[in-house]
Amino acid sequence: MKRAQQILHNTFGYEAFRPPQDEIIETVINGGDALVLMPTGGGKSLCYQIPALVRAGCGVVISPLIALMQNQVDALQQVGVKAAYLNSTQNFSESQAVEAALVAGELDLLYIAPERLNQSRMLSLLQRSPIALFAIDEAHCVSQWGHDFRADYLQLSVLHEGFPEIPRIALTATADERTRNEIITRLDLSEARQFIAGFDRPNIRYRIALKHNAKQQLLRFLKEEHDQDAGIIYCLSRRKTEDISAWLQGHGFNALPYHAGLDVELRSEHQSRFLREEGVIIVATIAFGMGIDKPDVRFVAHLDLPKTVESYYQETGRAGRDGDAANAWMIYGLQDVIKLRQMMAGSDGSEEHKRAEQHRLNAMLGLCEITSCRRQTLLSYFGDTLPAPCGNCDTCLEPVDTWDGTEAARMALSVAYRTGQRFGVNHLIDVLRGGETSKIFACDHHKLPTYGIGKALDKNQWSSVFRQLVARGYLSVDMERFGALRLEETCRPLLRGEQTIELRRDSKRSSAKQQTKTSLPVDIDVELWEALRNCRREFADDQGVPPYVVFHDRTLQEMCASIPNSLDELAEISGIGERKLNKYGPAFLEVISRHLNP
């Protein structure tokens, strides 16, 4: 462990391990297997990188996304680690050189894609090479129950069979208990020590608001809070990503679309601009993001509702990996609920599978509609407890107003019933409000006892009532008849007057209290900050790597705060190891001294 400590300090430039990194590292150094569950940004990489450096031989990292291997390898080479990757983007002679280095024992870390392990050539190559450990990144991909299933991951049991002596460490950020058990069985990890770090991401501010005019709401959010920041905006459809990104460009934002239907080259260009340039916004379907290793994403916005709490947590988790303040901002409305419920009912798959999906969507809707702390609910979903409300989510910052919706709910249920459970929400609201549409007259709905009994509430308020009834499962959406609302068994006590219901009072816009300007500490010397950033950008451009591979924002901010004037003082700053100190230190000191004595 002493050696591990030295590497943490000298190579990576960090002061101390974040528990349970130390325990994990010790386990693997001593040859034990480990299963690691840690939130995104928790620091999983060091858990295998350091043991790979301490143990003899090369650490082999299995990772599903080849797009980021280059990046990880760049970052490791920056701190002086002998790292390489093998994937389909290389030509024959490049991969031969890497293979030769592996066999010769010249590599500390090697990243490979899971499908490589299906090749007997690769396996025999590994057999002939000194191996320190196997790290299985994004281990939840082995789970058929989860959302990122990859058939190639099933093959990874060969590691245990072919290399019984070599420690394996499986890592993931998403795992409910079921996924975790599946990882253990499929990867033969029953002997592994399990490390489950807290799931909390305290620097992320969770906000979920009502959707009324998505584009304008988004624009206001970006203008008021993220004028210059990098971020990700998630939408459900490909077309929408293109539409929104074009629209944002028209408003002066550097926004780019990303979805599986884009030309491969364009897609990778957009991804690399997101990584390399500053302040780029990616508007994406869920095709974007797994394993995107960009620490300074300041916001993740959802314009459509994710299907599960797991997806929501994983997607929002891409914000603020550097630990600085970040926003997870979402808007949703009744149409989202109806659309998702229909999509699920119409998907193929067994009844059991559909029920499981509905169940998970219900949990997501529950999160949207709660009136208590969002973070407490989120964490309890993952089996974690937060003893007190967090103070950093919308419901904490601005307690939600509720009202006794019993009477309104009864009217809503009864109008759905009286009209034969065949109509969508708009028509039902028209009937309640005594509308005079041709549909009403054609169906004789103006003769119903519920006609016009709901004039006290406006259209938006009724829509809010229906949304909450659907979200809570009192009403369901009929897939056979587009959007028709049907009564569920659970609404009986409510109709009989045996139960009351508290509803959220939706507010139209999030107030100033919830807003965060996440960019910079207020007392920072902006000129010095800009000068340091320019210096960083020059180094990054020269080497063709993203700026944060040179130094993180946090490291530059610490320079602004402590104004070091020697290499020794610079070395104290977090994120500066020996190699970066020697390589970049003099240039950054020069910038600081020029700033002080112009």
Residues that bind ligand ADP (CB under 6 A): 14, 17-18, 21, 38, 40-46, 293, 295, 321-322
Tokens representing residue 72 in the block:
């990880």
Least separation in angstroms between CB 355 and ligand ADP? 32
x/- mask, Zn ion, residues 232-251, rule CB under 5 A, reads --------------------
- Asked if 393 interacts with Zn ion (CB under 5 A), we say yes
Least separation in angstroms between CB 73 and ligand ADP? 14
Tokens representing residue 109 in the block:
């870390």
**Listed ranges 160-168, 289-297, 367-375, 483-491: which one lies at the site for Zn ion (CB under 5 A):** 367-375
Q: Which does 226 bind (CB under 5 to 8 A by kind): ligand ADP, Zn ion, none?
A: none
For residue 519, CA distances in Å to 172, 275, 297, 554 come to 29, 17, 11, 11
Residues facing residue 36 across a β-bridge:
171, 195
Considering only 83, 86, 286, 373, the residue that binds Zn ion (CB under 5 A) is 373
Report which residue type is found at 467.
R
- Is the bond preceding residue 19 a cis peptide, omega within 30 degrees? no
Q: Which does 17 bind (CB under 5 to 8 A by kind): Zn ion, ligand ADP, none?
A: ligand ADP
Tokens representing residue 43 in the block:
């620091």
Q: Which does 321 bind (CB under 5 to 8 A by kind): Zn ion, ligand ADP, none?
A: ligand ADP
- Asked if 201 interacts with Zn ion (CB under 5 A), we say no
Least separation in angstroms between CB 179 and ligand ADP? 17
- Asked if 375 interacts with Zn ion (CB under 5 A), we say yes
Question: SS3 of 482, please?
Answer: coil
- Asked if 208 interacts with Zn ion (CB under 5 A), we say no
Minimum CB distance to ligand ADP smaller for 14 or for 163? 14
CA-based nearest residue to 361, from 386, 343, 374: 343
**Computed over its alpha carbons, how large is the radius of gyration of the chain?**
27
Considering only 54, 169, 183, 390, the residue that binds Zn ion (CB under 5 A) is 390
The full 3-state SS of 268-309, as one line of letters, equals HHHHHHHHHCCCCEEEECCCCCCCCCCCCCCEEEECCCCCCH
- Asked if 396 interacts with Zn ion (CB under 5 A), we say yes
Least separation in angstroms between CB 399 and Zn ion? 10
Least separation in angstroms between CB 275 and ligand ADP? 13
Q: Which does 40 bind (CB under 5 to 8 A by kind): Zn ion, ligand ADP, none?
A: ligand ADP
Minimum CB distance to ligand ADP smaller for 41 or for 114? 41
Least separation in angstroms between CB 224 and ligand ADP? 28
- How long, in residues, is the chain? 598
Minimum CB distance to ligand ADP smaller for 295 or for 564? 295
Q: Which does 396 bind (CB under 5 to 8 A by kind): Zn ion, ligand ADP, none?
A: Zn ion
Count interface residues toward Zn ion (CB under 5 A): 6
444: left (phi over 0), alpha (psi -120 to 50) or beta: left
431: exposed, middle or buried (Cβ count in 10 Å: 0-12, 13-18, 19+): buried
The CA distance from 31 to 167, in Å, is 5
Least separation in angstroms between CB 121 and ligand ADP? 30
Residues 6+ apart with CB under 8 A from 382: 176, 199, 313
**Residue with nearest beta carbon to ligand ADP:** 43
Q: Which does 29 bind (CB under 5 to 8 A by kind): Zn ion, ligand ADP, none?
A: none
Tokens representing residue 450 in the block:
């519920």
Least separation in angstroms between CB 552 and ligand ADP? 6
The CA distance from 37 to 195, in Å, is 6
Least separation in angstroms between CB 114 and ligand ADP? 17
Query: b/e string for 171-185 if b means 16 or more Cβ within 10 A?
Result: bbbbbbeebbebbbe
Residues 6+ apart with CB under 8 A from 280: 230, 254, 255, 256, 273, 274
Least separation in angstroms between CB 61 and ligand ADP? 11
- Asked if 204 interacts with Zn ion (CB under 5 A), we say no
Minimum CB distance to ligand ADP smaller for 46 or for 411? 46
CA-based nearest residue to 254, from 215, 225, 283: 283
Q: Which does 66 bind (CB under 5 to 8 A by kind): ligand ADP, Zn ion, none?
A: none
Strands (DSSP E) contained in 426-565 are: 475-478, 484-487, 502-504
Q: Which does 46 bind (CB under 5 to 8 A by kind): Zn ion, ligand ADP, none?
A: ligand ADP
Q: Which does 13 bind (CB under 5 to 8 A by kind): Zn ion, ligand ADP, none?
A: none
415: exposed, middle or buried (Cβ count in 10 Å: 0-12, 13-18, 19+): buried
Minimum CB distance to ligand ADP smaller for 172 or for 464? 172
Q: Which does 38 bind (CB under 5 to 8 A by kind): ligand ADP, Zn ion, none?
A: ligand ADP
The CA distance from 340 to 304, in Å, is 10
* Contact in structure between 326 and 320 (CB atoms under 8 Å): yes
Q: Which does 316 bind (CB under 5 to 8 A by kind): Zn ion, ligand ADP, none?
A: none
Least separation in angstroms between CB 39 and ligand ADP? 7
Helix 21-29 / helix 44-54 crossing angle, nearest 10 deg: 30
Least separation in angstroms between CB 299 and Zn ion? 18
* Contact in structure between 142 and 186 (CB atoms under 8 Å): yes
The CA distance from 463 to 469, in Å, is 10
Task: Report the alpha-carbon angle 131-137-139, nearest 5.
Answer: 120
Q: Which does 44 bind (CB under 5 to 8 A by kind): Zn ion, ligand ADP, none?
A: ligand ADP
Least separation in angstroms between CB 48 and ligand ADP? 10
Q: Which does 390 bind (CB under 5 to 8 A by kind): Zn ion, ligand ADP, none?
A: Zn ion
Q: Which residues bind Zn ion (CB under 5 A)?
A: 373, 375, 389-390, 393, 396
